[in-house]
Amino acid sequence: MKSNKLLPLFVTSLLPLVGCDNPDKIIVVGATPSPHAEILNSQVVQKYIKEQGFKLKIKVYQDYVTPNKALNDGGIDANYFQHIPYLQEEIETKGYNISAVAKIHYEPLNLYSKNEVISYTNAKISIVNDVSNVTRAFELLKVFEIIDSYDVTNFNAQHPVYTTTNNVTIQCIDPGLLHHKVEDGELAVIPGNYALTAWGGTKATDYRVLGETEAVAGQKSNIIASRSNDINSEKINVLVGALAQASLGQFIQDSYGPTVVYSFTDIR
């Protein structure tokens, strides 16, 4: 998920409601567009839910504030757009009575290059300039010994603090511009959602050099959340069942390559 909370709100419905439908058999899920709403709207998910005698309605949100409010207020049955740290912050600051139900996927940071032969000596590497992801980017480079150490205390994007024996130069730029550095022949560490938007799954697969492990990126797995009193309701059980299918994992791998990784875990 992206951390920007200031995007304009625009709500749409991918599947319109039929007036005579029984509301007890309609599961309304709020989601951000990609990949969340796309995953929910996949044939794998839709077919399963239909077979259980339910319909899935997807409300697509372009911001990251409204989905939790809508869930807490009863406007939707569940949402799918956030990771647990963000949900916990929302609960602590706004007092929402909502809970995490299941982890579905994570979006790892990967190092990308279009070059077949890669040398880290004297390399120029671009990473994100936002505080929420810069530590992950530096840690990825450190784990693979591309840099020796880093310090994000009092982080300044204009003057990142790190040490390297490879004479690596690191610059921190807007994440939406990172893919241009790769196209220009340089290296860049890019969050999964930005790589997906820029290239799609196939090209991202071709450009990927290395990436975060599940142990790291999985800490920010995107989740299904519901109202706390409903985590074991029939609607939520059907939704979780649809998202627990192994075939959904294959769909995600085929559709998004290394930018989105299936990580289903029921955490109720």
The Cα 160–Cα 177 span in angstroms is: 18
Report the distance separating Cα 190 and Cα 176, nearest Å.
9
Per-residue pLDDT of the chain (268 residues; tens, 9 = 90+): 544 444 444 444 454 444 447 999 999 999 999 999 999 999 999 999 999 999 999 999 999 999 999 999 999 999 999 999 999 999 999 999 999 999 999 999 999 999 999 999 999 999 999 887 999 999 999 999 999 999 999 999 999 999 999 999 999 999 999 999 999 999 999 999 999 999 999 999 999 999 999 889 999 999 999 999 999 999 999 999 999 999 999 999 999 999 999 999 999 9
Residue 213's region, left for phi above 0, alpha for psi from -120 to 50, else beta, is beta
Question: For the chain, which domains are there?
Answer: 12-107+218-266 (3.40.190.10), 110-211 (3.40.190.10)
Q: What whole-number distance in Å separates Cα of residue 94 and Cα of residue 188?
A: 36
**CA 36 to chain CA mean position, Å:** 8
pTM of the model: 0.85
Strand, coil or helix: 150:
strand
Of 67, 133, 103, 108, nearest to 222 by C-alpha is: 103
Residue 1 has a pLDDT of 54
pLDDT of residue 131: 83
Residue among 267, 253, 243 nearest 49 (CA): 243
pLDDT of residue 2: 44
Tell me how far the alpha carbon of residue 201 is from its chain's centroid: 14
